[in-house]
Each structure stands twice: as C-alpha cells, then as structure tokens.
Amino acid sequence: VPAKKTRVRFHRDSEEFTLNEKDILPFSATSITTGDDMIGFDDLNEAILLNNIRERFADDLIYTYFWPSIISLNPYVVLPEYGEHQIKNYHVPKPGQTPHLYALAQRAYRALKTTKSPQAVIISGESGSGKTELPKSF
C-alpha cells in the first residue's frame, strides 16, 4: 500500500512540500512559537524544536538554549553580532540576555571557580560544522 501524501507549507516563507503522512509530526497552531530557551515551551516535540531553530536561524539568531544546553547552528558566514567584542556583555548574566556561547563559557568558568570541580563542555556535530572553531571562543 503506497504511503498517503500530504502537502505541507512552512510558516515563514510559504515554501510547500509533499511528504508521506508517516513522516509528519504533530504540530498545533498554538505551538507556533519561537523563543530563546525551549525548556519553557508548553509543547515540545521534534517538529516544534526544529521549527524554532529554523525561525531563529532565519533571523541570524544562531544560538538557542535548551537549558542547560545550547544549540548552535553554523551560518558559514561571519555575523558581526557574534564577534569577540561581545565577550564583555556576557561576564555577568542579565535577565533576557540573548543566548550565546560566551554565556555558556562564563557559566562553566563560574562553576569551576565556585565548586572547585572540573567542568566539561561537549561539542558535537557533523564534519565541517564548526566544532574546531567553536572552542576558540572559550
């Protein structure tokens, strides 16, 4: 029996695809939300997570918290708002601060100083995704 096909349209750019229904995850209209930290989302599944990251990436927001982790997408271009000049802005955490790798590095450093115990940051990704460049930010 051939799989049933359904037309799907992305929210931002109205791009349409035809997909097998078995490959479509539940996604309600009330779940169409974006945010800095997905841990606070009322609904969360793979579709909602991917939509949030996709929407943020389209706005050049390459970091998204999934507390206590951070998801980073490599834009393969230099984005000035993520340069070294931003380091000083993340020395002290501020409410509503945009997710950033510098905040993660600062949190690990503070934990190292306060707890006097080793800290680890795990960086994973596909070949060419920026794993070698990312630690240079620390």
Res 26: pLDDT: 67
Q: How many helices (H) and strands (E) does the chain have?
A: 2, 4
- Please indicate whether residue 112 or residue 7 has the higher confidence score (pLDDT): 112
Assign 126 to helix, strand or coil.
coil
Is 45:26 a contact under the CB 8 Å cutoff? Answer: yes
Could you report the per-residue pLDDT of 31-90, keeping only the tens digit for each?
667 888 888 887 788 888 888 898 899 999 999 998 788 898 888 888 888 888 888 888
Contacts of 22 (CB under 8 A, 6+ apart): 3
Does position 10 have pLDDT exceeding 70, yes or no? Answer: no
pTM, 2 dp: 0.73
Res 110: pLDDT: 92
